[in-house]
Amino acid sequence: MSESSGKTVLIVDDHTFVKAFYKMALKPYALNLVFAYDGLEAVEKARQSTPDLILMDINLPRMDGVSAAKMIRAEPSLKGVPILAVSARNPDEYNGKEAGFSQCLKKPITVEQLRDAITGYLDLE
């Protein structure tokens, strides 16, 4: 598939190798991938791009993923956007659902786990 699916995924992670993993894993779907390095940038880019899905790390510089998710959820235009926490931390440590996460994925995550999770939220072929 070489044309964009029209779907935008905001990926929030401060590690370059994780960014490369997402690019490789999601390439078959021809998604528009938008990257943010930290929680503050995630909120800004979510407002700008109105993504169809957000993959959010928890441990981030400047603002953590929980705080960023809460700020994104407070935006009326972003309230219904699925936010998937992707973290090595136990979801009980950051109150997954209370923070507004649609789902919590545990790192390390496999390509198959990632693809299964996103296709559950986005209508992808």
- Residues in the chain, how many? 125
The sign of the torsion formed by the CA atoms of 37, 41, 42, 46 equals negative
According to CATH, the superfamily of the domain at 8-119 is Response regulator (3.40.50.2300)
pTM given for the model = 0.92
The string of pLDDT tens digits covering residues 60-91 is 999 999 999 999 999 999 999 999 999 988 77
Judged by DSSP in three states, 125 sits in coil
The domain ranges of the chain are 8-119
The string of pLDDT tens digits covering residues 3-62 is 556 899 999 999 999 999 999 999 999 899 999 999 999 999 999 999 999 999 999 999
Rounded CA separation 87/84 (Å)? 10
